[in-house]
Structure 1
């Protein structure tokens, strides 16, 4: 069974079950009004020990500077759907050719406290593609083993105060990288789906 087949089976099984998924504080979202559709590409590298491609955002970018993120962004009017948006953004941000991505499916919508509704698009990519960061947005590209990301013991819940309210978030550490916020939240949701990974 290929990695794509294993992931599809796990996602299908996970979607058939009622799981406790996380998202940002829905009360804060209601107060903010309409949300903006966005999409990210969860690019899983087809290695014997599969890895996930992540980026480190530049310190000069306007939104979430210096944070670890999936390649992605808002859905543009010319995008056919969220899959097209995720592929376009990944090509723009890290030079990942869209014809090298085998789409597995989409995971659970994640609503952020900054007003975005983010759809994670799951795709398989070949190993060792020559990726190039877009210098205005991406400071670094790196890979993390999928098994590390989805292991519950690596997903640590933290709390923070924002606008006088306490919010919780997840944090995952990998070497000298800190993965947190919406990116970690999407990983935690995905890990609950992939608990069925054969």
Structure 2
């Protein structure tokens, strides 16, 4: 069974379960949220990995943070899948024809007013990706097993804007994976059925 088939089965089985998914506790209660999408690209190798980016330090928002390729859904995009593929192509030169889409995950609301839909897909290993210099400082891969291991989901708390905020951090050598990106990963792990993924 291919990795794409295993992920498809694991997502389908997971979407039939009632689970506790993360939401940003400080997400705005009123007003419209800006729809956005990110690509969770899993490399199809014996030990699958997930492609992540490090944002440049010059960006106005989330400078220097680890993120999935992605961004807001434009009016011209045909939904979150098209937006995630377009953004990944713009940020990493990953041709939008390459990823094999598995499906979409539960949207995540952010404190900054976005509703982010993760798009899960598989891609061939060892792609020649190129960072978009103004937005992406680095492109790297983290083993899927490491990201989904609950032992690596470290819960942190911090006082922020007068409220106690809880967030997750996932340790990985040389990188700090935290905040929204870590929350999306934790939700991915909770949504995928581990038995279906392992079989």
Q: TM-score range by the shorter chain?
A: over 0.9
Q: Determine the C-alpha separation between the residues in 2 that align with 1:90 and 1:161.
A: 33
TM-score (norm: length of structure 2) = 0.96
Q: Determine the C-alpha separation between the residues in 1 that align with 2:37 and 2:159.
A: 27
Structure 2 counterpart of 1:30: 29
Structure 2 counterpart of 1:108: 106
Please state if 1:5 is matched with 2:5: yes
TM-score (norm: length of structure 1) = 0.97
**CA deviation vs aligned residue, 1:26-81 (integer Å, no higher than 9, x gap):** 6x4115x2210000000000010000000000000111000000000000010011
3-state DSSP of counterpart to 1:56: strand
Please state if 1:39 is matched with 2:37: yes
Q: How many positions carry a matched residue from both structures?
A: 196
Structure 1 counterpart of 2:116: 118
3-state DSSP of counterpart to 1:30: coil
Q: Determine the C-alpha separation between the residues in 2 that align with 1:149 and 1:177.
A: 13
Structure 2 counterpart of 1:58: 56
> Contact (CA 8 Å) 2:157, 2:167: kept in 1 or not?
yes
1 or 2, which has the higher helix percentage?
Answer: 1
3-state DSSP of counterpart to 1:47: coil
Uncovered stretches (5+) of structure 2, i.e. residues with no partner: none
